[in-house]
């Protein structure tokens, strides 16, 4: 069950409990409280901005530079940078990206397959 924060509607009225603000655990289906449980003065639920969760590995400066090269159509530059970074970090996603960019740059790897 989520925890909600309530605070007095008028910060100059009410008891110290609701002027300062308090937390209460409620079901999401329950209606929000409208009166302080201690002094019966009007209260309102405090809304917070949602937190943002970024999944995956963080974007590095190298990732930004590779994307910039790709946007500019500099496929060989992007491929070389991704290839070098993949060797250092052992990131398979960069290795795959490097191969795709090499192909876009005109390199033909099919003739090297055995």
Average pLDDT over every residue of 54-76:
85
Say how many domains are in the chain.
2
pLDDT at 114 over 50: no
pTM of the model: 0.47
User: Do residue 65 and residue 103 come from a single domain?
Assistant: yes
| Enclosing domain of residue 28 | 3-45
Note whether residue 66 is domain-resident. Answer: yes
**pLDDT score recorded for residue 21:** 92
Is the Cβ–Cβ distance between 36 and 18 less than 8 Å? yes
The per-residue pLDDT for range 72-91, each reduced to its tens digit, is: 999 999 999 999 999 998 98
**pLDDT score recorded for residue 67:** 93
Note whether residue 13 is domain-resident. Answer: yes
């Amino acid at each position: 069950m989520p925890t909600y924060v309530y605070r007095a509607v008028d910060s100059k009225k009410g008891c110290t409990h609701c002027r300062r603000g308090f937390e209460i655990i409620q079901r999401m289906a329950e209606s929000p409280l409208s009166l302080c449980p201690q002094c019966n003065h009007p209260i309102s639920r405090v809304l917070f901005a949602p937190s943002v969760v970024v999944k995956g590995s963080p974007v590095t400066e190298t990732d930004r530079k590779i994307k910039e090269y790709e946007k500019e159509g500099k496929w060989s530059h992007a491929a070389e940078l991704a290839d070098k970074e993949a060797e250092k970090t052992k990131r398979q996603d960069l290795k795959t990206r490097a191969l795709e960019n090499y192909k876009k740059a005109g390199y033909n790897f099919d003739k090297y397959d055995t």
